[in-house]
Structure 1
Amino acid sequence: MDGLQIRLKRIFRKNTGRTLVVAIDHGMALGPMAGIRNIRETVERLDSTGLVDAWLLTKGILRYGFEPAGTPGIILRISGGATIAGPELTREGLTATLEEALAAGADAVAVSAFIGSPYEHETLVNLAAAAGRCRRWNVPLLGVVGLGKTNEDKKKDPKFIALATRVAAEHGADLVKTYYTEENFDQVVAGCPVPVLIAGGPKCDTDGDTLKMVYGAVQGGARGIVMGRNVWQSPHPRALLAAVHGIIHRGLSLREACELLEEKARKNE
């Protein structure tokens, strides 16, 4: 095995080839949201379950707010630089170097590309540049597909999502985080030569809707999920995490996952 394969093994479980990633990088653009205001508490509460395969987070949180119970994989976001208070959330640049990520102990890095946005060119160039540096050191790169507010309606369009996902891979991503489309998601996966993970947002109306999304994505060929607010803003985050884990790693049906959620929620687990 080379370094890339070794690092990927820290993110994907060997027995299933899938991963459950919890994202807590939202604060870089949205500030202290409900569910991650006390970031240490969130990490401790969810990581203590032993069900989280990896975390997606920023360099500030990794240094000052990340104290997991175990030794999960670490995916460090190295793009950012825009907030909801600014004029354009899609105007991201590279905010950390690969050397910083390696020094911090990251197993992989993540860079956003906002397809169809005014900053499509700049963010794709950043993604490609990061891919070149990652290839040199055998560090996996997660390409994060973003659309921006002007393309919100295209999140459910499988043709557009297939385009965006393939473009991220073409620019050098080793993994791609993209949106789940209820229709023809298998075609999105089929058109991408690297593993596809679905984004866990936007926030679903119910935990049952979250499980339906995860189940559909796995059935469509997704290799896992990168979930944020749908888990740490859930009324029963640990119970939901167990049910999602059951779908991804234990092959539970949607009905079985919903029953597990209800059981654990009832017991307040």
Structure 2
Amino acid sequence: MTGLKNRMKRIIKPDTGRSLVIAIDHGYALGPVKGIVDIAGTIRELDATGQVDAWLLTKGIFRHAFEPAGSPGVILRISGGATITGPDITNEGLVTSVEEGLSLGADAMAVSAFIGSENERETLVGLARAADDCHRWNVPLLGVIGLGKALGEKKNDTRFLALSARVAAEHGADMIKTYYTEQGFEDVVAGCLVPIMIAGGPKCETDLDTLKMIHGALQRGACGIVMGRNIWQSPHPAALLNAVWHLIHKNCSVVEAQDVLEKSTA
């Protein structure tokens, strides 16, 4: 068992082959958005369920607000440098070293690649170099497929998603976070070399919509989620998390998960 495989087991659970990752790294580019203004409070509420397999967060959150009761997995975002107020949110670079992540106790690193953007080359080179550094230390890398404003419509383009996932994997990512599309998502999974987890994307209208999206992705081959606002912007974040956990690790139907949600909010 290599160090990389051991660390992967802290992200993707070997008994189910699936993972429930909560993303709380949005503030690195968006600032204090609804649901993570009191980031420590959000962490406490969701951590109390004991159902979060791993967290995707930044070094600032890790140092100043992350105090889980147990020992969930940690994926540290190490790319950044652009915000929603700047000229181009896709103009990211590496902002943290793998060594810094290890000193904090992270189990994996995350880097965005904005394929199809003007910064495609720079972000892919950054991902590839981060993969080299990660693998030197036997640390897994999560490749995050980013879009930005100009490419927003691509989140429903199966061919684009399949290309992006494959490209990120071939540049060294060990896991992929990408968008889910109802049509052809199984082709995205089939063409990728490594496990795929879905992002939440824009906030769903209802919690039921979130459950349907996650269930659809799991049925089409995703191994789980790396999701933020669709969980912590819910009216009932902990209850929704419980329902999502049952979808992912108990292989429940949408109806069964909805029943879990309703009982948790009664």
Sort the TM-score into its range (normalised by shorter chain). over 0.9
* 1:91 paired residue number: 91
The unaligned stretches of length 5 or more in structure 2 are none
Alignment of 1:216-227 (within 5 A): 216-227=216-227
Describe the SS at the equivalent of 1:55: strand
Q: Deviations over 1:45-81 (max 9, x none)?
A: 0011000000000001100010112110000000000
**Distance of 2:169 and 2:14 partners within structure 1:** 23
**Distance of 2:23 and 2:229 partners within structure 1:** 8
The unaligned stretches of length 5 or more in structure 1 are none
**Distance of 1:15 and 1:197 partners within structure 2:** 17
Q: Deviations over 1:163-194 (max 9, x none)?
A: 11111101000000000011011110000010
Q: CA deviation at 1:11?
A: 1.1
Aligned amino acid, residue 56 of structure 2: L
* 1:165 paired residue number: 165
* 1:131 paired residue number: 131
Alignment of 1:1-269 (within 5 A): 1-266=1-266
Q: CA deviation at 1:12?
A: 1.4
**Distance of 2:203 and 2:131 partners within structure 1:** 30
RMSD value over aligned CA atoms? 0.7
Q: Deviations over 1:239-264 (max 9, x none)?
A: 11011100100010011111111111
Q: Deviations over 1:91-150 (max 9, x none)?
A: 000010010000000000000000111111100000000011111111000000011211
Kept in 2, the 8 Å contact 1:44–1:68? The answer is yes
Consecutive aligned runs of 4 or more in structure 1 exceeding 4 Å deviation = none
Kept in 2, the 8 Å contact 1:82–1:90? The answer is yes
**Distance of 1:84 and 1:177 partners within structure 2:** 20
Describe the SS at the equivalent of 1:235: coil
Percent of paired sites with the same residue: 65
Kept in 2, the 8 Å contact 1:236–1:265? The answer is yes
**Distance of 1:72 and 1:64 partners within structure 2:** 17
**Distance of 1:114 and 1:265 partners within structure 2:** 38
Taking structure 2 as the reference length, the TM-score comes to 0.99
Kept in 2, the 8 Å contact 1:21–1:225? The answer is yes
**Distance of 1:111 and 1:216 partners within structure 2:** 26
Q: CA deviation at 1:9?
A: 1.0
Q: CA deviation at 1:14?
A: 2.0
Kept in 2, the 8 Å contact 1:48–1:70? The answer is no
Describe the SS at the equivalent of 1:149: coil
Describe the SS at the equivalent of 1:56: strand
Q: Deviations over 1:197-229 (max 9, x none)?
A: 000222111100000000000000001100100
Alignment: residue pair count: 266
Kept in 2, the 8 Å contact 1:142–1:175? The answer is yes
**Distance of 2:188 and 2:50 partners within structure 1:** 31
Q: CA deviation at 1:157?
A: 1.0
**Distance of 2:88 and 2:265 partners within structure 1:** 39
Aligned amino acid, residue 91 of structure 1: N
Describe the SS at the equivalent of 1:150: coil
Kept in 2, the 8 Å contact 1:127–1:143? The answer is yes
Aligned amino acid, residue 53 of structure 1: D
